[in-house]
């Protein structure tokens, strides 16, 4: 097996793929709803553009406007930033790719998870397919599975609770987690499951599938 790429290289790879995808979209697709219930595609893109550059002063003001709710702050900030328009968003995303910008105090893997999961948030409702590799799924899954309460409230809730007691296995790449009856899905579907995104009933198969479905 080939050695895994360093995390910064994977972040650059996924950010490049996200930018390239955005540049292929029509103006109507930029306005389409994403998997994030409160966001359009343009709001997701704005979040990825400016969240990594949010300083403590601006972040503190945003928290006060959102009555100290991190989730409200994240949701409302992205919608506000999206008013800057597609050109400014794309330019900032390019700057982040070159600079390696990431949210203050967050590990590099968090930047990778943002690029991967929000890429799915954009692509999936538009019917655009981009399979995930095991090299990418591995660190992204490990990150969310190890994120404790209350921090996991920002990344879709407790992924560990949803898959406790089952062996979650990817059907299209070499990746698995846990012990117990097996629940299988594509790598992309597993990322959605772990990060609290919707999953169709037929995307999860195997004897452990019902155990997981009961927790969604």
Do 78 and 147 fall into the same domain? no
Do 20 and 72 fall into the same domain? yes
Contact call for residues 42 and 129 (beta carbons, < 8 A):
no
Do 109 and 155 fall into the same domain? no
State which residues of the chain have pLDDT below 70.
Answer: 1-4, 55-71
Do 151 and 174 fall into the same domain? yes
Do 23 and 115 fall into the same domain? yes
Task: Give the count of domains, the chain.
Answer: 2
| 177 in a structural domain | yes
| 96 in a structural domain | yes
| 186 in a structural domain | yes
pLDDT of residue 17: 97
**Residue 122 main-chain phi, psi, to 5 deg:** -80, -50
Do 59 and 110 fall into the same domain? yes
| 2 in a structural domain | no
Do 120 and 30 fall into the same domain? yes
Do 98 and 61 fall into the same domain? yes
Which range marks the domain in which residue 181 is found?
134-213
Contact call for residues 79 and 37 (beta carbons, < 8 A):
no
d(CA 212, CA 179): 13
Domain boundary among 126, 156, 180: 126
Do 94 and 191 fall into the same domain? no
| 1 in a structural domain | no
Residue ranges of alpha helices (H) inside the chain are 7-24, 27-30, 41-50, 56-65, 70-81, 86-99, 108-123, 134-146, 159-162, 187-194, 209-213
pLDDT of residue 121: 97
The dihedral through the CA atoms of 148, 115, 9, 98 has a sign that is: negative
Domain boundary among 81, 103, 126: 126
CATH of the domain at 200: 3.30.1050
Do 19 and 117 fall into the same domain? yes
pLDDT of residue 65: 67
Domain boundary among 96, 126, 156: 126
């Amino acid at each position: 097996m080939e050695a895994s790429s360093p995390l910064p290289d994977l972040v650059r790879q996924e950010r490049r793929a996200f930018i390239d995808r955005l540049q292929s979209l029509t103006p109507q697709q930029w306005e389409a709803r994403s998997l994030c219930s409160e966001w359009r595609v343009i709001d997701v893109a704005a979040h990825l553009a400016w969240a990594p550059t949010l300083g403590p002063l601006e972040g503190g003001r945003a928290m006060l406007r959102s009555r100290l709710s991190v989730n409200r702050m994240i949701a409302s900030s992205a919608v506000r930033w999206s008013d800057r328009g597609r050109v400014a968003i794309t330019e900032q995303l390019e700057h982040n790719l070159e600079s390696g910008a990431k949210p203050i105090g967050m590990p590099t893997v968090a930047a990778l998870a943002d690029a991967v999961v929000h890429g799915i948030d954009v692509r999936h409702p538009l019917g655009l397919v981009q399979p995930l590799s095991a090299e990418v799924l591995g660190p992204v899954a490990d990150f969310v599975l190890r994120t404790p309460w209350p921090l996991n409230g920002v990344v879709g809730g407790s992924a560990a609770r949803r898959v406790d007691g089952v062996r979650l296995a990817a059907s299209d790449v070499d990746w698995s987690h846990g012990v117990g009856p097996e629940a299988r899905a594509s790598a992309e579907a597993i990322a959605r499951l772990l990060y609290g995104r919707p999953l169709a009933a037929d995307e999860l198969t195997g004897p452990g599938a019902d155990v997981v479905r009961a927790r969604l």
